Structure 1
Amino acid sequence: MAAPFTAFNFSVEITRDDRPTPLAGAAFTECDGLEMTVEVKTIREGGNNGRQIRLAGGLAFGQLTLKRGLTEGFDMWQWINDTRSNPSLRASAEVVLFDASHAPTARFVLTRCLPIKLKAPALNAKDGLLAVEELQLAYESLEWRQP
């Protein structure tokens, strides 16, 4: 039986459609929202109250939420600004899981990602916490790939 993957050893690679290299500042400390849901269609047969028929409908995908410490790199801010002037601008993203020896074990591949929310960090002079920014992406498809 294989050991389960750890949730803390991962990387996120985001590549805009208009640029060949990944965004430089895409080192995130949290990643949530890798999900797909099958919509269920329920059909009831007339006169048969003891049974219902369930049919698989379309797939719905979640929204990816990424968090990272704020740095002087403003590539995420630039990307969301660029989508204002070019609404069709998208990106591809891969969330790569690593094992203990830092070898890739699996990849979540997201296509046609659109930045939908970029949240600046909460600022509080009383706390000594890191400034953390949050990016949310809508994506059109999600695929799981093994290495």
Structure 2
Amino acid sequence: MPRPFTTFNFKVLIEAEPGKVLCDAEFSDCDGLEVNMEPKTIREGGNNGRQIHLAGPVSYGQLSLKRGMTSDFALWRWFEQVQRNRTLRASGRILMLASDRSRADVRFDLTGCLPVKLKAPTLSAKDGEIAIEEMQIAYETLHLAESGA
């Protein structure tokens, strides 16, 4: 019997080049995996009771990663590299893991990733917050790969 996909078990991978992992991180929240299509609506002459919808341009969301844990400063370095080389892009993978974290059941592949916001947490000696509060990434395409694909 198939198990439901859970949203609390996921991992984020970002590669600057194929095979060269820039970031292998854990975040508490991942939002913005979305694709929208704006239909083109046309009306047929003489047919006032019907409209025809054609596939229109596609737009993508902006990935928002919150409260992240990484072992290094690779995400900060990537942001700084993009400031110097504005054509630098990366690819990303969001893996939805099985409940035992042994495999990825679903994978979202992102291309043309560009960091657009990086926010550090409020620095406070009384809080035990993590070093990356929020990162936002614009992406050019989004593809879904099911398990076994």
Q: TM-score range by the shorter chain?
A: 0.7 to 0.9
Contact 2:15 2:23 in 1 (8 A): no
One-letter amino acid of the counterpart of residue 62, structure 1: G
Please name the residue that 1:38 is paired with. 37
Task: Give CA-to-partner distance per residue, 1:53-104, whole Å, 9 cap, x none.
Answer: 1111122111111113466732211111111110111111101111122221
Which residues in structure 2 correspond to 1:1-147 (within 5 Å)? 2-17=2-17, 20-24=19-23, 26-69=25-68, 73-102=72-101, 103-123=103-123, 128=127, 130-131=129-130, 132-146=132-146, 147=148
Task: Give CA-to-partner distance per residue, 1:15-65, whole Å, 9 cap, x none.
Answer: 113x84312462222111111111111112344332211111122111111
Contact 1:67 1:134 in 2 (8 A): yes
One-letter amino acid of the counterpart of residue 97, structure 1: M
- Return the alpha-carbon distance in structure 1 between the equivalents of residues 69 and 7 of structure 2: 22
TM-score normalised to the size of structure 1? 0.85
Contact 2:91 2:113 in 1 (8 A): yes
Identity of aligned residues (%): 49
Q: Greater strand percent: which structure? A: 2
Runs of 4+ in 1 over 6 A off after TM superposition: none
- Return the alpha-carbon distance in structure 2 between the equivalents of residues 95 and 71 of structure 1: 15
Give ranges in structure 1 of 5+ residues lacking alignment.
Answer: none
- Return the alpha-carbon distance in structure 2 between the equivalents of residues 138 and 106 of structure 1: 21
* C-alpha RMSD of matched pairs (Å): 2.2
One-letter amino acid of the counterpart of residue 142, structure 1: L
Give ranges in structure 2 of 5+ residues lacking alignment.
Answer: none
TM-score normalised to the size of structure 2? 0.84
Distance 1:91 1:101, change over 3 A: same
Contact 1:25 1:73 in 2 (8 A): no
1:3 positional shift: 2.5
Distance 1:70 1:105, change over 3 A: closer
- Return the alpha-carbon distance in structure 1 between the equivalents of residues 24 and 93 of structure 2: 14
